[in-house]
Amino acid sequence: MSESISAPNEHIELLERRIDRLRGELRRAATTGDRAQARTLRAELRRAEHAWDTALADLEERAPAVPRQNPAPPILSIREQVHHALTLLTVPAAPKLIIAVHDAFFPGELVAARLTSLRRDEERSFKVAPYGRPYYLCPALTADLLAPARGLLAISTWPLSTRVVGPLSARVDFLIGAINVAQRVAQLPDDAHDARRLLWRFATGIPGAAAAGGVGVDPETVAKQAQAELDVHTDADTADRAAAAARARERLDGAEALFGARLQRLRKTAN
């Protein structure tokens, strides 16, 4: 059988068929006990396999180089995804809003079900190795009881006065979040539909921020109207939070300052 085939692919296919044939013949020789024939076939098989390796290497050298694809972005952990969203908002937020902000501005998928145990995981990690991480995701603290605020996540590196929420804080934080989202949307192209839908959700909750008839939404208008209402509430909310933060610094330490006090502990410190 002639192996002088010009096309590398055809040459490799002929070698593969020859290797298959030799393997079959070698198996039959070994089965019948023909050791001399088996040795001859085994040597021929090794030569054919070597020729196949050489031909394949030659084919690889002849083939045009494939441009390298851009490396896939690194997969972020859930805590990093939440940290990014909260850093944009700069205020405590509920999981639903955190997911909406992440989906609007950041790549990847943030799964709601995985947020349910995140705070507990963070607290356990802190107790095992206190301050072993650059930051922790922790609950906001209620201004009255300094206990974990239900359904609100914050970042441990924020000032305590930011992590404490009082009677006006929900509205104040909503307005601050709206301003930050509006400022980010203003930097994006017009076809950033997810980000603009999120901005629209904020705008519908702020008087004068949404366009008449529900057509479009202007980031500058949203930020301006949110700031106008924020100016009304800021002083009172800041005073409430500062007072609560002072009590927290006096009564709480360690994990409690991050993850909230238990009711039994508060009763003891109050006496």
- Tokens encoding 100: 């909406």
Residue 218 three-state SS: coil
Q: What is the CA radius of gyration of the chain?
A: 33
* Average pLDDT score over residue span 141-145: 95
pLDDT value of residue 69: 59
Distance, CA of 264 to CA of 255 (rounded, Å): 15
Provide the residue type at 261 as one letter. A
**Mean pLDDT for all residues in the chain:** 86
pTM above 0.95, yes or no: no
Q: Give the residue ranges of DSSP H helices in 144-218.
A: 160-163, 169-185, 193-203
pLDDT in tens, 23-42: 888 778 888 888 888 888 88
pLDDT in tens, 228-262: 999 999 999 999 999 999 999 999 988 999 999 87
pLDDT in tens, 157-200: 999 999 999 999 999 999 999 999 999 999 999 889 999 999 99
